[in-house]
Structure 1
Amino acid sequence: MDPTDPDSFNHRTELLSTGRTYHFVDQLPQGYDHKRHPTLICIHGFPDLWYGWRYQIGPWTHRGCRVVVPDMLGYGGTSKPNEPEEYTTKKLCADLAALLDLLGVYRAVVIGHDWGSYTAGRFALWHPERLLGLIMLSVPYTPPSKQYLPLTEVVKRAPNLGYQLYFEQLRSSEEILSHLGKFVGLVFNTPGSKKALDFTPTGALEKLFQDTSIPDKLPTCLTDEERRYYLQQLGQSMQGPLNYYRTSQLRHEEEQAASLGSQLRNDLPYLFLWGTDDLTVVTSVIAKSNKFIARFQDVAIEGKGHWLMVEAKEEVTTQVINWLERLMAHGTPTRTTRL
């Protein structure tokens, strides 16, 4: 398993019982025994791929874990329906449960980053019995809302989410695809870079696309080879990835119809990893999430931004495996750690 070579991982493509086809990496530890070796299912965010976990898959497998990493719906080699309603978290979670069924795994440690973090948190609500533990990166747990808040109102309260108003519009799929090189440079930017460009306020991203003084190849946390892989994979279509941002009302309606609770399972071990330089992380939201999680633990990684699996690859790899080993041996302590 070479992080610089996507083909060095064990790839599978399977039809799930939900009717969707998923591509995923399925890496087994030596002498795999489902009774002894825990399964980790790693869920990527936007605009990422299974490849976002490339630095963790090998080390976690070598430490005795089965590591399963899908391309989520709309990405890479996985089905790409055009309709936004196919991307609600209820349906995504049904896919993940079906993937575990296909693998013959009843309970897994679910790990998510960014949109994958949000999805992992919802998986813990829709399928609570399927988790051994829950690990969320960069996006803290938020409970279902009792009242629907339109995105326009959300952005008024959190102006740094203004880009989501653009993502919500169908025209953004083709426009981002036509400026994909610049877009990848903007979203994978390294925090603190002198050339960092802020695309988060409302309307900023469209202006940056039209600014010819900004090069298509911006400095990022990716190598040239990694950047090429993302461009190749994301270049298939941006409709699916952006559809995640077009489901807010649909998700709310599904959760209301199911009377989905706010509290995570009381005995569910929980770990949250976040970078102190990540502008998407609001400490007040972390504090709020603590109220709904009985076995809460968080680790703040100093000076790191949003793309923790790359920017802080050693810390993420080590923190997760140490947490798992403590969990298997003694249970998870409740505390906050800063690295």
Structure 2
Amino acid sequence: MNPTDPQTFNHRTAQISTGRLYHFIDQIPRNYSPTRPPIICLHGFPDSWFGWRHQIGPWCRQGFRVIVPDMLGYGETDMPHDSSAYSTKNICNDISALLDFLAIPKAVVIGHDWGSYTAGRFALWHPDRLIALVMLSIPYVPPKEQYTSIEEIARLYPPYGYQMYFASESSTSEVEENLVPFLGVVFRTPEKAFPWSKIDELITNKKINFTDDCLLNECELQFYVSRFQRGMRGPLSYYRTTKTRFEEEKEAQLPANLLPNLPVLFMYGTKDATCPPASVQNAHKFISQLNTVALEDVGHWVMLEAQDRVASEVLRFLSSLGSSQNSRM
């Protein structure tokens, strides 16, 4: 497994029971022992299985089977046109079906960004499939009792203003037409960030080289560009599910609290504007076994900005589970 070469990973595709075709990495250690729980990693926006390239190897070398799907709408995984297909309930059902396909009854679920939100909801929709939960950058929030529109969310917390733009249909073609500058701006450290809420704010000054100071090198950037050649409708559709998610969770009467015996690790960068400190503290109300790790001077892209630390902290967390993880398998 060479993080600079996507082809050195073990690629698979599967038609799962929900009817979706999923592409995923399935990295199995030599002399794999089922006493080690399998790990499934869920990426966020605008990412890919490739976002976990620096962690797959270290975890696999420590004996863990690591499964990393391209999420629905990304890469070589199916891209439904209807935005409702991207509701968290549907995505969680897909992840459960992928585990079924692989004959894995329970797993450690790790998520970043939208993948973190989805991982937290997986613990509500499919609590019986979890050994432990790791959330990166986006803290757990419980299902809402009352509907809050994305416009209201952006008003209450202005750093989330970009979500209102992504939820608009116009963002699809605008992002597609400006893919390189868009990725060059999104994948940045906080110190090098450009303030923006709409794509036209990124391209008003054509003299700016948006790939300067990008966290991705030229080869990595081009790989991401190739992954989004099918279009951005699928990835952006996650932001268009606010009402659908609320209605599905209300109908199912999902609980606010995670299971009291579920070990949970939350890791975040202290300079990540999408992770308000109050939200981190609030998560403790709903998670009995919550461990938090603050990555000082790190922004949103923790798997890139703190590659080794993320890998080692997860290994430390899993080793601390001891015999309790075997009882959950």
Distance in 1, Cα, partners of 2:322 & 2:90: 30
Q: How does 1:1-339 map to 2 (within 5 A)?
A: 1-34=1-34, 36-193=35-192, 196-200=193-197, 203=198, 205-329=199-323
8 Å contact from structure 1 (residues 273, 300) kept in 2:
yes
Distance in 2, Cα, partners of 1:63 & 1:217: 35
Deviations 1:60-88 (A, max 9, x none): 00101000000000000100011101000
Q: CA deviation at 1:235?
A: 2.5
Deviations 1:193-231 (A, max 9, x none): 3xx31124xx4x332234323335342111211111011
What SS does structure 2 have at the residue aligned with 1:296? strand
Matched length: 325
Higher relative contact order, chain-length normalized (CA < 8 Å, sep 6+)? 2
Distance in 2, Cα, partners of 1:179 & 1:211: 13
Instruction: Identify which range, 80-89 or 231-240, moves more after superposition.
Output: 231-240
Distance in 1, Cα, partners of 2:30 & 2:245: 40
Q: CA deviation at 1:330?
A: 6.8
Distance in 1, Cα, partners of 2:121 & 2:140: 9
Structure 1's unaligned 5+ residue stretches are: 332-339
Distance in 2, Cα, partners of 1:88 & 1:207: 29
Distance in 2, Cα, partners of 1:259 & 1:220: 42
Counterpart code for 2:242: S
**Runs of 4+ with >4 A deviation:** none
Distance in 2, Cα, partners of 1:325 & 1:68: 19
What SS does structure 2 have at the residue aligned with 1:297? strand
Deviations 1:311-334 (A, max 9, x none): 100100000001101112578xxx
Q: CA deviation at 1:305?
A: 0.7
What SS does structure 1 have at the residue aligned with 2:300? coil
Counterpart code for 1:197: F
**Once superposed, what is the RMSD of the aligned Cα atoms?**
1.2
Distance in 1, Cα, partners of 2:123 & 2:202: 38
Distance in 2, Cα, partners of 1:22 & 1:157: 36
Q: CA deviation at 1:19?
A: 0.2
Percent identity of equivalent pairs: 48
Deviations 1:45-103 (A, max 9, x none): 00000000000001100101000000000000100011101000000000000000011
Structure 2's unaligned 5+ residue stretches are: none
Distance in 2, Cα, partners of 1:33 & 1:99: 20
Distance in 2, Cα, partners of 1:61 & 1:212: 43
Q: CA deviation at 1:112?
A: 0.1
Counterpart code for 1:141: Y
Distance in 2, Cα, partners of 1:61 & 1:55: 11
Distance in 1, Cα, partners of 2:235 & 2:324: 39
Counterpart code for 1:159: P
8 Å contact from structure 1 (residues 182, 218) kept in 2:
no
Instruction: Identify which range, 54-63 or 218-227, moves more after superposition.
Output: 218-227
So what's the TM-score if we normalise by structure 1? 0.94
Tell me which residue corresponds to 1:336: none
Deviations 1:252-297 (A, max 9, x none): 0000010111100110000000011111110100111110000010
What SS does structure 1 have at the residue aligned with 2:131? strand
Distance in 2, Cα, partners of 1:150 & 1:211: 32
Distance in 2, Cα, partners of 1:316 & 1:169: 33
So what's the TM-score if we normalise by structure 2? 0.96
Distance in 2, Cα, partners of 1:217 & 1:324: 36
Counterpart code for 1:213: K
Counterpart code for 2:155: K
Distance in 1, Cα, partners of 2:159 & 2:57: 35
Distance in 2, Cα, partners of 1:132 & 1:273: 18
